[in-house]
Structure 1
Amino acid sequence: MKIYFARHGQTDWNILGKVQGTTDIPLNENGIAQAQLLCKNLEDRDISFEKIYTSYQARAVKTAQIIDEHFHTGYEIVRGLEEMNLGLFEGHTWDEILSLYDEEHKLWLSNKRYNCTPDGESYQMVMERLFKALDYILGQHNTSSDRDLLIISHGAVIMTLLAMKRNIPFEESHTIEVDNASPIEFSIEELKDIRTRL
């Protein structure tokens, strides 16, 4: 079994460069088209998954629904897969954040893994809740199966996994690109290894 993570399709706030976090912004028309293209991408790569799991946020749920309409595997909303809570940064562009919350931003950047955004989460907190969600998800399946799982989540959540997988410090996490509606593969062994380093 492999676990494929995919970020939801595009939203209007993605285009505007606004930080979304827990703010529940729906997919735009392009985001819906991206989710439909993700179906084709999965089909072309012959990825056969047993079930879809998704964050509860509207942009992720809609992405999961579009994929389920194509593959008919069923989907389940699981707490812990939602986007990082970015607190006071949400609703602002990064330029606005630097202007409004310069000191708070500097403090966060000084130790991005463990420092929280103002009124928000740290990346460590995101990883801990993510792995609780993964414990639940993997507990529903035979992990030695040759059928995979698809998890629809968010940019910061997937970025934490990629940073840990590639041993990239969180202070350099801005170098990691997580495209909308593009599958990213993890083996069970890779996820187990990341867990040991939480």
Structure 2
Amino acid sequence: MTTKLYLMRHGQTRFNAQGRIQGASDSPLTDLGIEQALAAKAYFDQQNISFDAIYTSTQERACDTAELVTGRTDYTRLKGLKEIDFGAFEGQQEFLNPPLQKDIGYGDYFVTYGGEGSLAARQRMGDTIRQIVGDNDGKTVLVVSHGGAIAQFYRGVLADPPQVRMRNCAILDFEVTGSQFELFSIYDPVAGEFLYDQEHGVPKDLELRFGETT
């Protein structure tokens, strides 16, 4: 059977607004972050999309986003969906991030500083989401996670992953059959535009360039 998987990033947080590195640390949604989550709710409502099951990371920003998007509290919190741990860089300004590397993100850069490697995050996200899909065969599922973790996940399950920055509350639309993940689109419900769709790919002005920090 085919499982419908909607994977989305949380709304804007205080650290996002301040340009701070936010992985294992947490900060609350801003007023804009709340508005973004409500825009996602409106999109799902307009599309008549409802969820048989809801999963979030254990971090407050993801849980609060899920509650705003669905109006429900009957979700499951999983540590496997948390953001990448940036070690000693947590809470520091984002300009301190090293350049991104194509396909592997930051690699093992943060491991030296007590953090998590990109490929380790990819493995745990893949394991966690495969288990979610296995537990919800043929159903419609919402998973709320984090930008870095989501990027590592889809780089691991897609042969030609789109190279795009993951905006707050961006929604990835997957269908999963057996072990195969098919990505149809990445939609920004706030701007009302597709960051990626299967037919047209990523718009040129939205392509993520490597060798730059993010």
Specify the TM-score bucket, using the shorter chain as the normaliser.
0.7 to 0.9
Q: Aligned pair 1:176/2:164, yes or no?
A: yes
Distance, in Å, in 2 between the alignment partners of 1:12 and 1:84 is 18
Map 1:1-198 to 2 at 5 A: 1-69=3-71, 72=72, 74-95=74-95, 97=96, 105=98, 112=105, 114-117=107-110, 118-141=113-136, 143=137, 145=138, 147-164=139-156, 165=158, 167=160, 176-189=164-177, 192=180
* CA shift in 2, pair 1:17/1:191, >3 Å: farther
Amino acid at match of 2:60: A
Question: Shift of the alpha carbon at 1:89?
Answer: 1.9
Amino acid at match of 1:134: I
Name the one with the larger strand percent: 2
Q: Tell me, yes or no, if the aligned pair for 1:6 and 1:151 is still in contact at 8 Å.
A: yes
Question: Shift of the alpha carbon at 1:68?
Answer: 3.2
**1:28-70 Cα shifts (integer Å, max 9, x gaps):** 111112111111111122323211100000100111122232x
Alignment gaps of 5+ in structure 2: 183-214
Distance, in Å, in 2 between the alignment partners of 1:61 and 1:75 is 8
**Which residue in 2 is equivalent to 1:101?**
none
Count of residue correspondences: 176
- Indicate the RMSD between aligned Cα atoms, in angstroms: 2.7
Question: Shift of the alpha carbon at 1:190?
Answer: 9.3
Distance, in Å, in 1 between the alignment partners of 2:73 and 2:140 is 11
Report % sequence identity.
29
Alignment gaps of 5+ in structure 1: 99-104
Name the one with the larger helix percent: 1
